[in-house]
Amino acid sequence: MLTTPGGWLLLVAVLAPFVGVLVGLALGGRNAPRVAALILPIGLAVAGGIAWTLLQSGDPLVYLLGGWAPPLGIALRADGLAAAMLLAVAVVVCGIGAYARADFGSVTGEPAQRASFVYWLLLLAVWGSLNLVFVSGDLFTLYVALELLTFSGVPLVCLDGRGETLRAALRYLLFALAGSLLYLLGAVLLYGGYGTLDISLLAGRVQPEPIAWAAAALMTVGLLAKTALFPLHIWLPPAHAGAPAAASAVLSALVIKGSWFLVVRLWFDVMPGVVTLPSAQLLAGLGAAAIVVGSVVALRQERLKLLVAYSTIAQIGYLFLMFPLAFDASGSTLVHGTVLTGGLLQAVAHATAKAGMFMAAGLVYAALGHDRIADLGGVARAMPVTVLAFAISGLALMGVVPSGAYLAKKLLLDAADSSGQWWWTIVLQGGAAFTAGYVVLVLTNALRRPAVPVKLVKRVSRLSEFAALALAVSSLLLAFAALGPVPGSLISNPLLPKELVPTLLIFLGGTLLALGLSRRALFGTGDTDGTVRRAAVAAGKGVELADSFLRRWPSAGLALLTLAGLFAWLMLSRNP
């Protein structure tokens, strides 16, 4: 293994944001936004350079730190998956940076200035940690990168310094640390069993035997705790809803992707032959449960930011649907095929759309002074660009042609058909209706004509609005960007009956869900609720109670340990 010619780009991609953090720290207060404004384009250019070099040469970029080769040394490695994620994260970070200039660009007053200073440094730190996650070539560097990501993400939750957000940050930190310890324990076991932690070397040595099962189960569950997959989502709603909008966008769109990417690396690159179809079914089953529970509880929310936070929980479920569909024809190993491309598209589409959605929600909160969904009437007329950004983000998440989520869904549906797993077809098609539910809820309220004209407390910056819109539109048009590696025949004309009918059905399903499950009736007052609506509201309340029960430490801890045991047991069903 040697350092490839473009390998130094990997080093710059990781170091540039951290150099920015150090320089920003040294220069102090008012210069932090300027340092960030300098580093963002550099990082974007480097990510583009890595993708370009990869496309030209066709081989993964490799950089050996210090010139020492594994197993004694550390290699940074960027394959197609890593390069795509690097580029996507760079674009989203630049978008969030443009948005945050209004909130954190130049502020006066001591506490606001400190929050702004910390925000820019943490944005760069999250970016650098994510880059390290994507290009690391061995499991221990990944552990360090994961911890860096957690340490950079946690203070973003409590930027405003209130007691509630500090509590949410501490809860996030403790649960994430529990996850990292489980991951580290798995890595230790792998070293004990196979003598190396380098990913490509380990892939050659790992066998289906108890130590590999134990390590895989522990590492997977630890990473799921950090990704907040249902039922381990104890920390996410208060953390993401309590953070300022620019910080929530970073947390939801980017930080979650780090641990998800690690699960993908672990399952597809380190242990493709060790993980079994039943264990992948469990993983995707948790994802399906996340979609249903997250969407239903989102519909029951009164506040916009909590709704978007619960929608993040639902969308995280989507990211895990690809695992059982990515097995080869004999159902024994995971392959790098179209399903992995679909999963990657889903992740990128979610990152861009979710950032856009949180940014739009933050702008609404800043302009109105509150984010109560029921009192959003008239916002659409007062802030058309913002509501358009929210609507387009919602459409992109629903999977309307030609969004990235649509193409991802198509790829996964193909695989579900060809492997005969019809139940995932139902989940994939039905999940979009759940997403449509809460988008319809918010838009109905925003488009309503209010009794008194809505008064905006504050004018929001045009740059922020258009940054949110730009990210939302990029998610909607993502399918065109992916046309290279995927046959163009998959994207058909959205107005054809074949495409229009499912889209209309999704909208119809979403509207029905919103009508049935929303906390306040969409039309008219709540006094004249029919029987169906009363039953639906009761069901919604039940799901919400179950969710709040699961979001306690004892239940979450028990779920953590039970899932670890279940994963290990499901991997046992393979004959070694």
Asked if residue 52 binds another protein (CB under 8 A), the reply is: no
Asked if residue 161 binds another protein (CB under 8 A), the reply is: yes
Interatomic CA distance for residues 422 and 413, integer angstroms: 9
Residues 6+ apart with CB under 8 A from 26: none
Smaller CB distance to another protein: residue 465 or 544?
544
Write 560-564 long-range contacts (CB < 8 A, 24+).
560/178, 560/182, 560/221, 560/225, 560/232, 563/221, 563/224, 563/232, 563/282, 563/286, 564/182, 564/217, 564/218, 564/221
Residue 327 DSSP class? B
Asked if residue 303 binds another protein (CB under 8 A), the reply is: yes
Token couple for 389:
């950004």
Residue matched to tokens 């004249």 = 528
Interface with another protein (CB under 8 A), residue from 169, 214, 216, 291? 169
Per CB under 8 A, the segment of 141-149, 433-441, 458-466, 527-535 that binds another protein is 141-149
| Cα angle for residues 317, 312, 83 (degrees, 5° grid) | 75
The DSSP code sequence of 222-263 is HHHHHHT-TTS-TTHHHHHHHS-HHHHHHIIIIIHHHHHHHH
Residues paired with 198 in a beta bridge: 138
Smaller CB distance to another protein: residue 71 or 337?
71
Count residues near another protein (CB under 8 A). 65
Residues 6+ apart with CB under 8 A from 337: 326
Asked if residue 192 binds another protein (CB under 8 A), the reply is: yes
Interface with another protein (CB under 8 A), residue from 208, 244, 377, 510? 244
Closest separation in Å from C-beta 561 to another protein: 7
Smaller CB distance to another protein: residue 500 or 539?
539
Closest separation in Å from C-beta 393 to another protein: 20
- Distance spanning both ends of the chain, measured CA to CA: 30
Asked if residue 258 binds another protein (CB under 8 A), the reply is: no
Asked if residue 179 binds another protein (CB under 8 A), the reply is: no
Interatomic CA distance for residues 353 and 568, integer angstroms: 35
Asked if residue 226 binds another protein (CB under 8 A), the reply is: no
Asked if residue 547 binds another protein (CB under 8 A), the reply is: yes
Burial readout 311-343 (b: 16 or more C-beta within 10 A, e: otherwise): bbbbbbbbbbbbbbbbbeeeeeebeeebbbbbb
Smaller CB distance to another protein: residue 91 or 221?
221
- CB atoms near residue 138 (< 10 Å): 22
Asked if residue 144 binds another protein (CB under 8 A), the reply is: yes
Closest separation in Å from C-beta 16 to another protein: 22
Per CB under 8 A, the segment of 19-27, 188-196, 467-475, 523-531 that binds another protein is 188-196
Show the binding pattern over residues 63-92: x = contacts another protein (CB under 8 A), - = does not. Answer: --------xx--------------------
Asked if residue 102 binds another protein (CB under 8 A), the reply is: no
Following CA atoms 501, 505, 511, 517 in sequence, which dihedral angle do they give, to the nearest 10 degrees? -170
Interface with another protein (CB under 8 A), residue from 111, 450, 561, 573? 561
Asked if residue 554 binds another protein (CB under 8 A), the reply is: yes
Smaller CB distance to another protein: residue 151 or 466?
151
Interatomic CA distance for residues 14 and 10, integer angstroms: 6
Closest separation in Å from C-beta 568 to another protein: 15
Does a cis peptide bond (omega within 30 degrees of 0) precede residue 237?
no
**Cα separation values, 312 from 292, 302, 357, Å:** 12, 16, 10
Closest separation in Å from C-beta 264 to another protein: 23
Spatial contact of 476 and 468, defined as CB atoms under 8 Å apart: no
Closest separation in Å from C-beta 374 to another protein: 12
Asked if residue 548 binds another protein (CB under 8 A), the reply is: yes
Interface with another protein (CB under 8 A), residue from 318, 365, 424, 438? 365
Residue 338 DSSP class? H
Per CB under 8 A, the segment of 44-52, 165-173, 322-330, 449-457 that binds another protein is 165-173
Side chain identity, residue 3: T
Side chain identity, residue 397: L
Smaller CB distance to another protein: residue 10 or 145?
145
Closest CA to 489 of 416, 560, 407, 564: 407
Interatomic CA distance for residues 539 and 550, integer angstroms: 17
Interface with another protein (CB under 8 A), residue from 94, 168, 470, 473? 168
Interface with another protein (CB under 8 A), residue from 160, 414, 499, 529? 160
Interface with another protein (CB under 8 A), residue from 77, 101, 171, 233? 171
Task: Give the chain's radius of gyration (CA, Å).
Answer: 23
Smaller CB distance to another protein: residue 37 or 166?
166
Per CB under 8 A, the segment of 28-36, 128-136, 281-289, 558-566 that binds another protein is 558-566
Interface with another protein (CB under 8 A), residue from 39, 81, 149, 184? 184
Interface with another protein (CB under 8 A), residue from 11, 31, 118, 167? 167
Residue matched to tokens 């922020």 = 464
Closest separation in Å from C-beta 469 to another protein: 22
Residue matched to tokens 């996030």 = 172
Asked if residue 185 binds another protein (CB under 8 A), the reply is: yes
SS3 readout for 482-530: CCCCCCHHHCCCCCCHHHHHHHHHHHHHHHHHHHHHCCCCCCCCHHHCC
Side chain identity, residue 87: L
Interatomic CA distance for residues 296 and 501, integer angstroms: 24
Interface with another protein (CB under 8 A), residue from 97, 242, 258, 431? 242
Spatial contact of 85 and 134, defined as CB atoms under 8 Å apart: yes
Residues that bind another protein (CB under 8 A): 71-72, 140, 143-144, 147, 150-151, 154-155, 158, 160-171, 173-174, 177-178, 180-181, 184-185, 188, 191-192, 195, 197, 234, 237-238, 241-242, 244-245, 297, 300-303, 305-306, 365, 519, 544-545, 547-548, 551-554, 556-558, 560-561
